[in-house]
Amino acid sequence: YDVVPPGSGWSRDPFKPVVEGDKLYGRGAVDMKGGIAAFLLASKVFLEAVKEFRGSIEIALVPDEEIGGVTGTGYMIETGISRPDYVIIAEPSGVEHLWIGHKGALWGYIEVYGKQVHGSTPWLGMNAFEYMAKIVLEFLNEYKPFIESKVSKYDYGDPQGNKPTITIGGEVKGGAKINIVPGYYAFSIDRRIIVEESIEEVEKELNEFIDRLRKRFPEVRIEFKIFSKLSPAFTDPKSRLVQIAIESIEEVYGKKPKPIICIGGLDLHYYTDKGIETISYGPGPEERAHMADEYVHISEVLNVAKAYVRILSKVLL
């Protein structure tokens, strides 16, 4: 679970690393085995060169980031196994970007309960699909414009990324047979959360909206079931770790990386929820993650390792 499945479209064996020029191909090469290699290399170089320093270096290799991180990073933090002062996660930000946080997410199902009857007598039933369609339109016409009117003051790397979003209908459940008026239907919602919002605020906002829907459609029963919550993560761009990282990366590349918020979800929130300064910086290219013929630039692995060594030196010496 530390990488996604290979999927289709590969021109190489996804689980046999292949080096071609500056590229190393393989599933997980950029997301995020390249980052792990950079961390291990940086730690080895630092520890061979420096015998005494303040504090300690901890490398945590967890197996489940791609499925939420609960039994990996989440377990380490919640049980107190790990209590760092500063954290760098080697996700593939690419060398030009420094991720200082990520969006949050709330996933759930809107369930609609009508009355199932024979298809020849629809007037005796209550078609859950028809009411689901009406409810979806309410989300599109009212709720979606409302959340998209909110704009984060931070950079998300894409002009469209600095707003909350909702994806409706990624999954749809219901129906039994063509000649049955459906008594149950459900659709999923994927609500993405900017760093100025909180999970609690968004959950309250959705529950209030669904309460209004219940009053508009009293003929059916509407339920809202949440099955996943991901807090947004944020580290102040003026914090010590962010400033040290920017300075160190500039020393390697000759220009400052751009601090941005990652649009997707990472393990950062487990640390930032505890008030720990956390960033993500790792070799790219980011856009090759989860794709066929995934690769990482070897030169970026080496240069990111150099930046890590500088960060370690500035923090620990």
Q: Give the pLDDT score at 31.
A: 93
Average of pLDDT values for 87-97?
95
Give the β-pairing of 277-280 and 86-89: parallel
Residue 68: predicted pLDDT: 86
Tell me the pLDDT tens digit for each residue of 215-266: 999 999 999 999 999 999 999 999 999 999 999 999 999 999 999 999 999 9
- DSSP labels for 41-90? HHHHHHHHH-S--SS-------S-GGGTSIIIIIHHHHHTS---SEEEE-
Ordered domains of the chain (ranges, CATH): 18-102+236-316 (3.40.630.10), 104-230 (3.30.70.360)
pTM, whole model, 2 decimals?
A: 0.91
The answer to whether the beta carbons of residues 30 and 294 sit under 8 Å apart is yes
pLDDT in tens, 45-55: 999 999 999 99
CA distances from 273 to 86, 108, 205, 266, 276 (A): 13, 22, 21, 13, 7
Cα dihedral 167, 171, 177, 178 sign:
positive
